[in-house]
Amino acid sequence: MNCKNCNQPLSKEAHFCNNCGAKVVLNRIDFKNLLLDFFIVNFGVDSRFFLTIRKMATHPEDVLNEYLEGVRRRYVNPFAFLAVGAALSLIIFNYFADDFIAIQSNVNSENIEHLKKAAEKDVEKTEGLSEKEVKKLKIEKKTAQFQLDLMESMWDFMLRYFNLLTFVFLLIYAVLSKWTFWKPHNFGEHIVMNGYIYGFTTYITLIAFFFAIVIHPTIYIATFFISIVYYMYAFGRFYKLSIGRNIIKLFRFFIGLIILFILFVIITVVLGIIAGATGLIKF
């Protein structure tokens, strides 16, 4: 019997080729074997995927250091690691789309409730108002409707293009970490580091999402803070920082995230003001 890959002679008891390392296959392909091979190779207990997950939870510095130093076959590629998390998130968030939107909306539930009341208000049936007050209410109604439509479109866009947004955020996080830890690693190495760290936080987020559905939405919201703590943990171990130095270094990273959030809020408010002004002109 010879190896079907390199034609090297094999013993009858051989399970792998001593020359090329290929697995000796004797049986025909069937559906059962396909499923078995898929789960063993990709999700087996000893697979690179679960090894990467386990090491990122306990010793993230090992994964980052070894991969950057050239050990590439021991762990899942950082982009594949992140892509799997993003793909799973996309499937799960779309399947539980209503729950996802409800949990996200819970962050600003009071404001959303106020917007709904303003958008659903029947201005024509409101009595005892001057013409100027009626115009004002109509503008407020149109503005509220626009803001609700904008939020709905935003969540729809996020669910539709979650994979793309994941890699956009990867670049943003890499810029922030490069700014925070200027030396000795270059921007490409920071992309790799954030690929692993951001990838691991996506799995944490997925677990928290299921708990949020069953128990309470605040569990999912808390993953934002958990992610920050994990970033501090991972970078702290990687750069061998003391607790105090870790806080000082990562504080810049945290400030960067806050700035991005503020910019997002400002853009949303500006769009709301523009919509309101447009409604006033048309009216």
Segment 49-66, tens digit of pLDDT: 888 999 999 999 999 999
What does the pLDDT read at residue 67? Answer: 92
Extract the tokens encoding 240.
């061998």
pLDDT in tens, 5-16: 778 787 776 767
Contact 207, 75 (CB under 8 A): no
State the virtual CA torsion across 32, 77, 221, 207 in degrees, nearest 10: 30
Output the pTM of the full model: 0.65
Distance, in Å, from the CA atom of 176 to the CA atom of 191, rounded to the nearest integer, reads: 10
What does the pLDDT read at residue 280? Answer: 45
What does the pLDDT read at residue 283? Answer: 43
What does the pLDDT read at residue 131? Answer: 64
Q: Give the number of other CB atoms < 10 A from CB of residue 265.
A: 10
What does the pLDDT read at residue 45? Answer: 41
Q: For the chain, which ranges sit under pLDDT 50?
A: 44-46, 280-283
Extract the tokens encoding 171.
């670049």
Phi, psi dihedrals of residue 173, rounded to the nearest 5°: -60, -35
Extract the tokens encoding 262.
């503020």
What does the pLDDT read at residue 235? Answer: 92
What does the pLDDT read at residue 281? Answer: 47
Distance, in Å, from the CA atom of 152 to the CA atom of 154, rounded to the nearest integer, reads: 5
CA dihedral sign, ordered 187, 191, 192, 196: positive
Residue 90, H or E segment: helix 78-95
57 burial level (CB within 10 Å; 0-12, 13-18, 19+): middle
CA dihedral sign, ordered 23, 26, 27, 29: positive
